[in-house]
């Protein structure tokens, strides 16, 4: 009997061991299946530039240790519950095998370069709670199977290229959804919600920038917890959804701009809509712009929640007056009512909104005087009252607006004089008083506003007197327009101190006397109009040497003498010289210049022969002595090769090139050899005796202190750095009377010439592939300077004209004249270079490319170079110079592109125009989709690099890697397409 029980016990033990072994095997099988799913996912990834999957090795048994992978805490049943590979720039497609991660709760692949369709198999992940695939390049439809994800509460598919309609099961079956973001795609159709679809937990519903049509479904009113509703930039229609909005007591953000909504009662009544927002006690932002909404602004607008901060009602059909009750919105910081049909006067009560920072009332029918009480809005930084019917004078009280940066009062009926107290607005960047009836002189206090960075426009008024010399203190202003006034006297030669000036219009006045030679020394001047004045004398030759000058108008003055068609004048026609009867030159329609016969020489010859011999004899010895001295001086100047003042230059062996050789190589530094000019000198092309083609950078010796510093700095940096994408130095010439840097001549010119110069033979021939490679080259060179160079360098002046292209269109970064050397780590912002004030012209870069923090006194930093690189990317895509956008749009290129980016039709227009400008020979073969991806990548990377906050910008190392990935993406795409074509 005992033996029987013993055998039974043994059998029971073996049974338990067998059961445990089977369970353990099943657990191992589950984790092994998870591992196989990840291996399959990895096989679909074709690029991993950040080595995000480096730890994904088959030899690593514990898959839970792989990067981005998280398992549950159950020791007996470990399974993968989270896969987070966001922001790793992975390229490739999404493997359907991810559906085998059967216990997965979180899947985040956002911020990568994934292409192709979203696998419908992901709809089988029934335990999934969070799914984010945003900011990729995914195409196709949203899978219908996503309607089976019953535990999903967070869904983000935004910023892809998804098409088709939103699948109804997604919104009807997944009732647990709290966050839905399908924005910035190309989704069409209606919003699929009906009375059977109730998403009670919904708090964030983001569908902006799609192609949705129809009305906002009434069933959305069941989502009573909604906080954020963004339907902007679609094609939605119908009345404003008042009956829906009133059910959202927790609503904070409502964006309905740029649709086809109308107001109630046949587009005549806005009151029901504003009434529907009364119960949303935490409401902060309302945007209704661009909907053609009709009706008056109701008085109850002042009863909106006091928490309201932003109110956008621009580009509608709103009429009537501005209700004074709007002043009850005490926390409002942004008010935009421009481009409507609003009339009446500006309420004095607006001064009660003391937190207001920006107020736009332009393009309306407002009349009466500008209330002096507006000067009491302490935080006001922008005031735009332009294009109305305002009258009276400009209030003196504006002097109290210490934060005011932009004052736009143009195209009104203002009269009186310019108040001198405006000179107290020390932060003013734009002042536009044009097209009014303002009289008197320009107050010296206003003329001395050195803070003006963008433009001063006083044109089309009744101003008189002379131009105050204080205008020359505006060393950061881009444009000055005082045309069509009654100014008289001479043009001040001191205007040459406005070193950032690109646009100068003095036409339609009574200026007299000669045109100052110094205007030709403005380093960045592009447009000069002095027509319809009473100027006389000859036209200064200095203007011909302005390398950026493209628009000139000398017409209807009293100029005389010979006019050349060289340099900047080569593109002009007779239209630029009309009404100057005493001018002669080679232009069609202009009288030819004739040399006068020198008969008087005959009469001079006789007395010279009679009395000149003794004089010649007396002077002979003196002439001989002087000629010997001259020969010695010439010999000294010919030995200028490498006598650098710094001992460090002896480290590099440069070839010896004499001053005489440089003169001969450049034709005596002739204007025909001039290929560029800048603030510190001019650049000439030449050929040495050994047929080496060189560019000779001759520095302006008249600016001793600045040139000496700039020359030493460029030599100091060029001899320390070595990289294939940085310009190399051939030799230098450093004498007190002559300083030059000899560089190899880049046969394909600068990036700027290739982008803009219509006379450049290679202009507009760059294709997308070349542009990607050029930008990648620049990023590599800058990355070396910031992260790998023996001395950490901040370039400080990165722009297209400083990017040179060699025979193979390899890009080389040049011009280190104002660069900074950093102490210690490349990411620190401490400089050991001499600081210059803006009056010296060293603004840490060129206007339009300067990082915004530099304007607030911050020192040069690597983040500033990243900003400049981002501007270049946006400039390439848009074809717009950043300075042109500043003048014409009143904003930075970053701000302008960002506004276009959130509006699909405008973004598509930018992409389409970019592809038209680039050479599209490859597009015909490979199709246009890949090129659109590249242009969008340029835009997005450019926006990232030009963010206002320097700390949020990527490093140049990140940028170089991103550009490298983009270059690889192009190469891989071509290889795949070529293989498919061969097959």
Q: What are phi and psi of 523, to 5 degrees?
A: -70, -25
Contact 590, 577 (CB under 8 A): yes
Nearest to 356 by CA among 343, 365, 347, 364: 347
Note the helical H segments in 589-701: 600-638, 659-665
Nearest to 545 by CA among 573, 514, 516, 523: 523
Is the domain of 13 the same as that of 102?
Answer: yes
Is the domain of 691 the same as that of 714?
Answer: yes
Q: If 0-12 CB within 10 Å is exposed, 13-18 middle and 19+ buried, where does residue 9 land?
A: exposed
pLDDT the model gives residue 483: 97
Q: What is this structure's pTM?
A: 0.66
Q: d(Cα 109, Cα 112) in Å, to the nearest integer? A: 7
Q: Is the pLDDT at 419 greater than 80, yes or no? A: yes
Q: Find the helix or strand (DSSP H, E) in which 69 lies.
A: strand 69-71
Contact 712, 646 (CB under 8 A): yes
Question: What is the total residue count of the chain?
Answer: 983
802 three-class SS: helix
* 484-498, 545-559, 610-624: least confident range: 610-624
Q: d(Cα 19, Cα 15) in Å, to the nearest integer? A: 6
Is 86 part of any domain?
Answer: yes
Q: Is the pLDDT at 222 greater than 70, yes or no? A: yes
Q: If 0-12 CB within 10 Å is exposed, 13-18 middle and 19+ buried, where does residue 825 land?
A: exposed
Q: Is the pLDDT at 484 greater than 50, yes or no? A: yes
Please say which residue of 688, 715, 745 terminates a domain.
745
Write out pLDDT tens, residues 713-772: 566 666 667 788 888 877 777 776 777 888 888 888 889 888 886 554 444 467 888 899
What percentage of the chain carries pLDDT values higher than 70? Answer: 80
Is the domain of 111 the same as that of 15?
Answer: yes
Is 411 part of any domain?
Answer: no
Write out pLDDT tens, residues 283-306: 999 999 999 999 999 999 999 999
* 107-116, 472-481, 686-695: least confident range: 686-695
pLDDT the model gives residue 857: 66
Is the domain of 735 the same as that of 774?
Answer: no
Write out pLDDT tens, residues 866-909: 999 999 999 999 988 888 887 777 778 888 888 887 776 778 78
Is 485 part of any domain?
Answer: no
Is 611 part of any domain?
Answer: no
Is the domain of 703 the same as that of 850?
Answer: no
Place of tokens 């329609």: 589
Is the domain of 822 the same as that of 865?
Answer: yes
Work out the average pLDDT over 543-556.
89
Is the domain of 726 the same as that of 859?
Answer: no
Is 549 part of any domain?
Answer: no
Write out pLDDT tens, residues 233-279: 999 999 999 999 999 999 999 999 999 999 999 999 999 999 999 99
Please say which residue of 730, 745, 760 terminates a domain.
745
Q: Is the pLDDT at 102 greater than 80, yes or no? A: yes
Strand pairing class (235-239; 260-262):
parallel
Write out pLDDT tens, residues 270-279: 999 999 999 9
Is the domain of 694 the same as that of 828?
Answer: no
Give the active site residues: 797
Please say which residue of 745, 766, 796 terminates a domain.
745
Domain carrying residue 678: 635-745
Write out pLDDT tens, residues 610-662: 334 333 333 334 333 333 333 333 333 333 333 333 323 333 444 667 778 88
Is the domain of 788 the same as that of 691?
Answer: no
Is 606 part of any domain?
Answer: no
Q: How many domains, in total, are found in the chain?
A: 3
pLDDT the model gives residue 615: 37
Is 383 part of any domain?
Answer: no
Write out pLDDT tens, residues 513-523: 999 999 988 88
Work out the average pLDDT over 594-608.
42
What DSSP designation does 151 have? Answer: T
Domain of 730: which CATH number?
3.30.200.20
Angle at 266 between CA 262 and CA 271, to 5 degrees: 70
Is the domain of 844 the same as that of 740?
Answer: no
What DSSP designation does 784 have? Answer: I
> Is 697 within any annotated ligand binding site?
yes
Q: d(Cα 783, Cα 778) in Å, to the nearest integer? A: 8
Contact 372, 400 (CB under 8 A): no
pLDDT the model gives residue 819: 61
Is 773 part of any domain?
Answer: yes
Calculate Rg over the CA atoms of the chain: 35
Q: d(Cα 385, Cα 366) in Å, to the nearest integer? A: 9
Q: d(Cα 870, Cα 886) in Å, to the nearest integer? A: 16
């Amino acid at each position: 009997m005992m033996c029987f029980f013993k055998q039974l016990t043994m059998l029971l033990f073996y049974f338990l061991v067998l059961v445990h072994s089977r369970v353990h095997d099943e657990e191992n099988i589950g984790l092994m299946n998870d591992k196989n799913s990840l291996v399959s996912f990895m096989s679909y990834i074709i690029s991993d530039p950040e080595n995000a999957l480096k730890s994904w090795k088959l030899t690593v048994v514990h898959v839970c240790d792989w990067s981005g992978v998280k398992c549950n805490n159950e020791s007996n049943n470990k399974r993968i519950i989270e896969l987070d590979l966001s922001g790793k720039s992975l390229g490739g497609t999404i493997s359907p095998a991810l559906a085998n991660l059967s216990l997965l709760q979180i899947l985040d692949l956002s911020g990568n370069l994934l292409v192709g369709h979203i696998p419908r198999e992901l709809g089988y992940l029934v335990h999934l709670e969070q799914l984010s695939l945003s900011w990729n390049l995914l195409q196709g439809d949203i899978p219908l199977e996503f309607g089976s994800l019953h535990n999903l509460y967070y869904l983000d598919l935004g910023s892809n290229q998804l098409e088709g309609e939103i699948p109804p099961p997604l919104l009807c079956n997944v009732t647990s959804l709290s966050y839905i973001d399908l924005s910035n795609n190309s989704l069409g159709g209606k919003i699929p919600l009906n009375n059977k679809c109730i998403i009670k937990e919904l708090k964030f519903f983001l569908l902006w920038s799609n192609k949705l049509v129809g009305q906002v479904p009434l069933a959305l009113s069941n989502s009573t917890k909604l906080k954020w509703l963004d339907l902007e930039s679609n094609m939605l229609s119908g009345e404003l959804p008042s009956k829906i909005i009133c059910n959202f007591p927790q609503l904070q953000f409502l964006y309905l701009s740029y649709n086809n909504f109308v107001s109630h009662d046949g587009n005549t009544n806005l009151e029901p809509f504003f009434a529907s927002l009364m119960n949303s006690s935490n409401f902060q932002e309302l945007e209704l712009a661009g909907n053609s909404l009709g009706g008056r602004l109701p008085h109850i607008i002042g009863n909106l929640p006091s928490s309201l901060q932003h109110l956008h009602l621009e580009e509608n059909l709103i009429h009537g007056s501005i209700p004074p009750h709007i002043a009850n919105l005490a926390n409002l910081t942004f008010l935009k009512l421009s481009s409507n049909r609003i009339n009446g006067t500006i309420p004095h009560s607006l001064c009660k909104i003391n937190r207001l920072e920006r107020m736009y009332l332009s393009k309306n029918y407002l009349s009466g005087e500008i209330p002096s009480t507006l000067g009491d809005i302490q935080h006001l930084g922008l005031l735009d009252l332009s294009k109305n019917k305002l009258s009276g004078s400009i209030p003196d009280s504006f002097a109290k607006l210490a934060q005011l940066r932009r004052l736009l009062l143009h195209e009104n009926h203002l009269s009186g004089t310019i108040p001198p107290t405006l000179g107290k607005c020390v932060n003013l960047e734009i002042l536009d008083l044009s097209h009014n009836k303002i009289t008197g002189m320009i107050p010296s206090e206003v003329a001395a506003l050195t803070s003006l960075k963008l433009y001063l426009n006083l044109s089309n008024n009744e101003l008189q007197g002379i131009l105050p010399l204080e205008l020359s203190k505006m060393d950061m202003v881009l444009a000055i327009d005082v045309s069509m006034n009654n100014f008289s006297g001479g043009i001040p030669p001191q205007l040459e101190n406005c070193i950032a000036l690109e646009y100068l219009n003095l036409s339609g006045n009574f200026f007299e006397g000669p045109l100052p030679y110094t205007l030709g020394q403005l380093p960045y001047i592009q447009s000069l109009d002095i027509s319809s004045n009473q100027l006389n004398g000859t036209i200064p030759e200095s203007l011909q040497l302005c390398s950026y000058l493209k628009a000139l108008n000398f017409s209807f003055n009293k100029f005389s003498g010979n006019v050349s068609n060289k340099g900047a004048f080569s593109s002009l026609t007779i239209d630029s010289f009309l009404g100057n009867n005493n001018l002669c030159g080679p232009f069609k329609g202009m009288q030819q210049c004739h040399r006068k016969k020198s008969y008087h020489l005959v009469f001079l010859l006789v007395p010279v022969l009679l009395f000149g011999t003794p004089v010649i004899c007396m002077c002979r010895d003196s002439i001989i002595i002087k000629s010997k001295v001259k020969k010695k001086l010439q010999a000294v100047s010919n030995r200028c090769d490498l006598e650098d003042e710094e001992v460090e230059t002896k480290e590099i062996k440069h070839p010896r090139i004499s001053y005489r050789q440089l003169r001969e190589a450049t034709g005596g530094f002739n204007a025909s050899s001039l290929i560029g000019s800048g603030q510190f000198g001019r650049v000439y092309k030449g050929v040495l005796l050994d047929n080496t083609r060189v560019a000779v950078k001759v520095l302006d010796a008249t600016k001793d202190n600045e040139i000496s510093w700039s020359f030493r700095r460029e030599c100091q940096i060029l001899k320390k750095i070595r990289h294939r994408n940085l310009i190399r130095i051939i030799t230098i010439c450093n004498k007190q009377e002559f300083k030059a840097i000899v560089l190899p001549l880049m046969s394909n010119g600068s990036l700027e010439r290739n982008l803009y110069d219509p006379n450049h033979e290679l202009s507009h021939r760059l294709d997308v592939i070349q542009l990607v490679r050029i930008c990648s080259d620049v990023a590599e060179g800058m990355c070396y300077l910031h992260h790998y160079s023996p001395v950490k360098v901040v370039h400080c002046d990165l722009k297209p004209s400083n990017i040179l292209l060699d025979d193979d269109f390899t890009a080389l970064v040049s011009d280190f004249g104002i660069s900074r050397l950093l102490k210690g780590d490349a990411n620190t912002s401490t400089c050991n270079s001499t600081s210059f004030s803006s009056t010296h012209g060293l603004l840490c870069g060129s206007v339009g490319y300067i990082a915004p923090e530099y304007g607030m006194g911050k020192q040069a930093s690597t983040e500033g170079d990243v900003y400049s690189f981002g501007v270049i990317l946006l400039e390439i895509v848009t074809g717009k110079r950043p300075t042109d956008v500043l003048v014409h749009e009143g904003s930075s290129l970053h701000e302008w592109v960002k506004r276009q980016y959130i509006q699909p039709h405008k973004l598509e227009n930018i992409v389409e125009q970019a592809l038209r400008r680039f050479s599209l020979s490859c597009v015909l073969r490979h199709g246009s989709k890949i090129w659109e991806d590249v242009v969008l990548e340029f835009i997005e990377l450019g926006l990232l690099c030009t963010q206002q906050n320097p700390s949020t910008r990527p490093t140049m190392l990140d940028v170089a890697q991103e550009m490298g990935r983009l270059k690889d993406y192009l190469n891989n795409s071509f290889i795949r397409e070529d293989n498919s074509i061969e097959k």
